[in-house]
C-alpha cells in the first residue's frame, strides 16, 4: 500500500458519494476499490436464503446462482459473518476459526478456489428482513495477502460506504413516496416487517395527529389502539413482507379498526396492507415490504 495517495483515496470516496445520488454508479465504486487495494476482484453483494446478487468487477453469473447462494448459506461462515456488526472488517475465510477445515468444504472447493479468491477482506453494510449486504475484496494466490495497512485503510473507507448507502435508500424512498403517494387524498404508510415507519404522506401524518385516530406512533412504530387490532395488523404486515415456499409472495389483507364497534370515540378506518418493493441498496434490489 506504499503508493496509495490522498488523491487516489479521495477519488474513491468521491465515487462512493456519487453513487449515493445515482445507484447506477456503484459498479464504478467496486472497480475503484479493486484498483485502490490492488485486488483481483471486488463486489457488493446481497445474500439471503433464496438468492445471491452482486455488483462486481467480474461478470460471474455462476457465483450469483441459486446453487451458489445455497452453498454460502450452508457453510458455517455465513452464519458467523451475518452476525457480525455492520462496518466491522473481517476475513471471510478465517472468521470461523479453522481455516484448514474451511478449505476442505464445498464453499471453498466448488466456488471460491476455482475463482482464485484466495485472500479476502469483507464488511457487512446492511441487514434487513433475513438478507444482508456486504462488501468484499479478493486477491489471488499469487498476490500478497492483505496486511494491517489494508485493513486500516478499509476501516476508513467503509463508514463512507455505510453513509452513502443510507443516503441512497432515503432518496429512493422519498422519491417513490413523492411520485406515487404524496397527492393521494388518503393516508399511506411505508413500513418494514416490524411496522417501523420509513415514510408517510401528509394525509397519513394528519390521520395520526387526530385525537380520535385508532392508530398511533410508538417509538417510530405504527400501532393500533387495542390488542386485538394490533395483533391482526402485525400478522398482515408480516404476511405482506414474507415469501411463502421461497417463491410465492405474501399479499397482506384488509383490516377494519377499531374492530370494537362500541368504540364510538374513535374514527373507523379501513386499513389495506399490501407489499411494496423497498428502495434499492448499493444498486441491488432490496427486500419487498
Q: For the chain, what are the domain ranges?
A: 6-169, 181-273
Q: Which of 101, 48, 55, 41 is nearest to 72 (CA)?
A: 48
**Domain boundaries 6-169, corresponding CATH code:** 3.30.450.40
The single residue listed with the C-alpha cell 409472495 is 249
Contact 30, 134 (CB under 8 A): no
Cα–Cα distance for residue pair 120/145, rounded to 1 Å: 8
The string of DSSP codes covering 162-230 is HHHHHHHHHHHHHHHHHHHTTT-SS--EEE-TT-BEEEE-HHHHHHHHSTT-SEEEETTEEEESSHHHH
Q: Which residues pair with 191 in a beta bridge?
A: 197
Q: Which of 31, 25, 67 is nearest to 50 (CA)?
A: 67
The continuous run of DSSP H or E covering 272 comes out as strand 269-273
Q: Render each residue's pLDDT in the chain as its tens digit; 289 residues.
A: 557 888 999 999 999 999 988 888 999 999 999 999 999 999 999 987 777 889 999 999 998 888 988 898 899 988 888 889 999 999 877 887 788 899 999 999 999 999 999 999 999 999 876 778 999 999 999 998 999 999 999 999 999 999 999 888 877 766 666 666 777 888 888 888 889 987 888 899 999 999 999 999 999 999 998 899 999 999 998 888 775 444 445 678 888 898 877 777 888 889 888 877 656 778 776 655 5
Amino acid at each position: 500500500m506504499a503508493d496509495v495517495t490522498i488523491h487516489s483515496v479521495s477519488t474513491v470516496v468521491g465515487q462512493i458519494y456519487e453513487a449515493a445520488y445515482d445507484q447506477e454508479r456503484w459498479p464504478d465504486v467496486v472497480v475503484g476499490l479493486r484498483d485502490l487495494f490492488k485486488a483481483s476482484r471486488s463486489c457488493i453483494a446481497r445474500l439471503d436464503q433464496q438468492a445471491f446478487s452482486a455488483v462486481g468487477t467480474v461478470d460471474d453469473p455462476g457465483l450469483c446462482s441459486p446453487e451458489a447462494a445455497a452453498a454460502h448459506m450452508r457453510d458455517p461462515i455465513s452464519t458467523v459473518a451475518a452476525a457480525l456488526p455492520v462496518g466491522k472488517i473481517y476475513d471471510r475465510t478465517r472468521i470461523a476459526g479453522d481455516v484448514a477445515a474451511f478449505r476442505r468444504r464445498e464453499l471453498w472447493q466448488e466456488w471460491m478456489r476455482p475463482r482464485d479468491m484466495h485472500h479476502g477482506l469483507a464488511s457487512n453494510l446492511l441487514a434487513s428482513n433475513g438478507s444482508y449486504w456486504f462488501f468484499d475484496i479478493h486477491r489471488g494466490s499469487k498476490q500478497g495477502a492483505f496486511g494491517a495497512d489494508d485493513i486500516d485503510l478499509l476501516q476508513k473507507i467503509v463508514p463512507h460506504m455505510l453513509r452513502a448507502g443510507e443516503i441512497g435508500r432515503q432518496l429512493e424512498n422519498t422519491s417513490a413516496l413523492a411520485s406515487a403517494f404524496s397527492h393521494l387524498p388518503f393516508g399511506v404508510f411505508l413500513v418494514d416487517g416490524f411496522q417501523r415507519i420509513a415514510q408517510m404522506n401528509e394525509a397519513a401524518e394528519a390521520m395520526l395527529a387526530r385525537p380520535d385516530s385508532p392508530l398511533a406512533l410508538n417509538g417510530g412504530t405504527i400501532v393500533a389502539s387495542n390488542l386485538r387490532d394490533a395483533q391482526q395488523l402485525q400478522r398482515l404486515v408480516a404476511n405482506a413482507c414474507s415469501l411463502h415456499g421461497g417463491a410465492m409472495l405474501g399479499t397482506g389483507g384488509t383490516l377494519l379498526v377499531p374492530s370494537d364497534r362500541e368504540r364510538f370515540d374513535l374514527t373507523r378506518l379501513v386499513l389495506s396492507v399490501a407489499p411494496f418493493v423497498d428502495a434499492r441498496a448499493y444498486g441491488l434490489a432490496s427486500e419487498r415490504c
